[in-house]
């Protein structure tokens, strides 16, 4: 099983946004650590919610997401931390 790749963006005045790149899930926080922990909670909650439903009741997008989450560990690997210079441009930190 592989870890889930994430990216964290810092948006001045708004904290941090953590993105599950392949899972298409995201969360925010006041610090990098808080954003990552909130994303970890979102991933765990999404996995739990999807597993409560019979597979035949899930649509195609949710089946793909569930398969992705079930085939990856709960480990998150940060691929980049970026800083917003302005609201339209992000640069690598």
Interacting residues of 21 by C-beta distance below 8 A, sequence separation 6+:
5, 6, 7, 79
Q: Which of 20-29, 37-46, 50-59, 77-86 has the lowest mean pLDDT?
A: 77-86
How many beta carbons lie within 10 A of that of residue 2, not counting itself? 10
Per residue in 4-47, pLDDT (tens digit) is: 888 999 888 889 999 988 889 999 999 999 999 999 999 999 99
Mean pLDDT for all residues in the chain: 85
Q: What is the pTM for the complete model shown?
A: 0.81
């Amino acid at each position: 099983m592989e870890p889930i790749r994430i990216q964290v963006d810092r948006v001045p005045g708004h904290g941090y946004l953590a993105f599950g790149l392949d899972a298409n899930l995201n969360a925010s926080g006041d610090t990098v650590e808080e954003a990552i922990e909130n994303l970890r909670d979102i991933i765990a909650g999404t996995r739990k919610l999807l597993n409560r439903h019979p597979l035949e009741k899930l649509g195609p997008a949710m089946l793909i997401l569930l398969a992705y989450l079930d085939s990856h560990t709960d480990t998150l690997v940060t691929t980049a931390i970026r800083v917003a210079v302005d609201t339209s441009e992000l640069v690598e930190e």
